Amino acid sequence: MNKNYLFDGLLAGREDESRNLLRVPGGVDWSYAEIVGLSGQLANLLQSEGVEPGDRVAVQVAKSVQAIALYLATVRAGAVFLPLNTAYTRAEVDYFLDDAEPAVFVCDSAREQEFADIEARVFTLDGDAGGSLMPAVSALAGEFANVERGPRDLAAILYTSGTTGLSKGAMLSHDNLLSNALTLVDYWRFSADDVLLHALPIFHTHGLFVATNIIMICGGSMIFLPRFDVDALIEQMPRATSLMGVPTFYTRLLADARFDRELVAHMRLFVSGSAPMLAETHVQFEAVTGHRILERYGMTETNMNTSNPYDGERRAGSVGFALPGVEIKITDPENGAALAQGETGMIEIRGPNVFLGYWRKPEKTALELREDGFFISGDMGKIDDDGYLHILGREKDLVISGGYNIYPKQIETEIDALDGVVESAVFGIADADLGEAVAAAVVLVAGARLDQEQLLDALRPRLARFKLPRKLVLLEQLPRNAMGKVQKNLLRERYG
C-alpha cells in the first residue's frame, strides 16, 4: 500500500478495528473499520470526480460522522482539506472559494442552490447524512489505494486573518498535523481506554486536528455530540474519561446545579483552549469538582504550542510550557531581538507544528515566518521565573469569543459601508461566559437617524451571528492618538 504519511500515522495505533471510534448518542455507533471503509468510498468518489493530489476539497457542513470520514478521504486521495465555519454567509464563503479554487465543494443541502453558480463540483451533506454525497458513494468500494504523500506535503488549509487585509489560508502539512497529535497523545496521557466527550465544532484546529486526531492515534473512542449542549454533556459525562472545550463550556457547566463532584469523579482530564480562561473559573471549577482544568495555547498556524503539565502545577493565568520539540521565545516586537525571562514581548514559535506559510501569499509569509523557522505569533506574553508562559494581549487586536477568532477589520468594513455611518472601531470586551464579546463604537453622519438595533439589523445578512456586536455605542468621534491611530485600548477601558 502506498505510504500516506498522515493517514497511516493516524490509524497506526488501532489494534481492534471493531472498536467504536465514534459513539453517537441516539444514533448509530461507528467502528474504526466502518469509518475507514466509508473514507475509502469517499476517496474513490473524489478521484472519480477528477480530484488530483494537491487539489482542494472545501467543506461547509454540519458536524457528522460522514464529515469526519470526508476529512480522512481527502487526506487519502492526496488532496487538501479546507473546512469552513458553518455560520459563514455566502458573501464570506465567496472569498475562500475564489482564493482556494477548490475542485469539490460540499455544503448543506439547504444551501445547494445558493452555490449553484460556482466552478467547483458541488455535493451536499446534512448533519443527518442527507444530501447528495452519501447516495453518490453507496455503490463504490470501500477499498482504496492511498495516494502517496510525505511529511511536507500539504494536508489542510485553515483560513485565518489579521486585523487588516484579507483572510489568509494557513497551509498545514501532513507532519504539522501528525507530529503535534503524537506529542499531545503522550503529553496528555491518552490511551485506548480513553473516551473523549466531543462537543466542539470540526471546522477548526481544536475540534478536528487536536481532539479527533488524538483519539484516532491512541485507538480510543469519542462520544460525538453535534454541538455544545449542557444537558447532553451532563447526560453523557458518566460514559467519558476526558473533555476538551473552550472556557464557555466550563462556565456554563458550573452554572448548572447538576454538575458536581460525583458526576465527574471518574473523569481523567479537562482541557481548555481557544480563548483565555479567567482565573476565577479555574478556582470555581476546582472547588466544585476537585479537578484542575488543563489550559493550553495553540493557534491556526501552529496547532498546539504549549500546555500546562499533566503532572505538576496547572497554573491559572498561564498556558504552561512549550511542548516537547517546540521552542518558544519572547522577542522585542520592533526588532525581533530575544528578551530576558520575565520581560514582556512578542511570542515566537518554532517546531514541527509550525505551518508551511500562507496560501498564495508569499509576501505575507515572509513577514510572519522568519527564515530560521520562528513564527511571529502576534501575541504578546512573558515567561515567568518558573518557566510558565503567560499571554498578556494580542498585538493584532484579535477578538476571541467563545473559542471563535473574530477579526475586527472585517466587521468594521461592513459597518462603515452602511448608509449613515462615518466610521467604526470594533474591539473585544471581557465576558464571563464567552471570554470576550464583540463591541463596536460607531460614528454617524451628522443628522443620521440610526439607532443600535437598526445597525444590527443591517449587519445580520452580512455577518455570521457570532461576529455581531453584543455591545454597540454611538460616539461623536473615535479616540485617536497624535498619529491619528484609533486608540482601541481607551475604548476597551471606557466601555469594557
Q: What is the pLDDT of residues 59-103, one digit of tens each?
A: 999 999 999 999 999 999 999 999 999 988 898 899 999 999 999
Total domain count, the chain: 2
Residues 6+ apart with CB under 8 A from 340: none
Residue with the three cell numbers 500500500: 1
* pLDDT of 164: 44
Quote the CA–CA distance of 250 and 268 in Å, as a whole number. Answer: 16
Same domain, 452 and 431: yes
Q: In DSSP terms, which residues pair with 328 in a beta bridge? A: 349
CATH number at residue 43: 3.40.50.12780
- Is the same domain home to 389 and 403? no
The last residue of a domain, from among 395, 419, 441: 395
CA–CA dist 136, 356 (Å, integer): 34
Residue 137 and residue 38: Cα distance in Å, rounded? 8
CATH number of 444's domain: 3.30.300.30
Q: What is the pTM of this model?
A: 0.86
Q: What does each C-alpha distance from 63 to 37, 71, 160 come to in angstroms?
A: 19, 12, 20
- Residues 259 and 201 placed together within one structural domain of the fold: yes
Q: Sign of the C-alpha dihedral, residues 99, 100, 103, 105? A: negative
pLDDT at 13: 62
In angstroms, the Cα distances linking 276 to 166, 273, 390, 432 are: 25, 7, 10, 11
Q: In what side-by-side order are the strands of the sheet with 56-60? A: 121-124, 104-107, 56-60, 80-83, 154-160, 168-173, 357-358
- Are 445 and 301 members of one domain? no
The model's pLDDT over 2-53, given as tens digits with 9 standing for 90+, comes to 799 999 999 876 667 888 999 999 999 999 999 999 999 999 999 999 999 9
Shortest CA distance to 346 belongs to which of 335, 362, 357, 358? 335
Domain span at 483: 399-495
What is the three-state SS of 441-456? EEEECCCCCCCHHHHH
- Among 379, 395, 411, the domain boundary falls at 395
Mean pLDDT of the chain: 93
- Residue 394's H or E segment, with its range, is strand 389-394
470 shares its domain with 380: no
Of 101-110, 186-195, 218-227, 447-456, which gets the smallest average pLDDT? 447-456
Query: Do 292 and 434 fall within a single domain?
Result: no
Beta-sheet pairing, 20-23 with 303-307 = unpaired
Measured in residues, the chain has a length of: 496
Rg (CA), the chain: 23
CA distances from 286 to 262, 279, 280 (A): 13, 11, 10
Same domain, 286 and 248: yes
The reply to whether 357 and 414 lie within a common domain is no
User: Is residue 65 domain-shared with residue 50, that is, in the same domain?
Assistant: yes
Strands 404-406 and 154-160: unpaired
Q: Which of 362, 395, 428 is the last residue of a domain?
A: 395
Q: Where would I find the H helices in 296-428?
A: 362-368, 408-416
Residues 73 and 180 in one domain: yes
Q: 97 and 75 in one domain? A: yes
Q: Is 493 left (phi over 0), alpha (psi -120 to 50) or beta?
A: alpha
Count of H helices and E strands in the chain?
14, 25
Clarify whether residues 284 and 298 are in a common domain.
Answer: yes
Give the whole-number percent of the chain exceeding pLDDT 90: 79
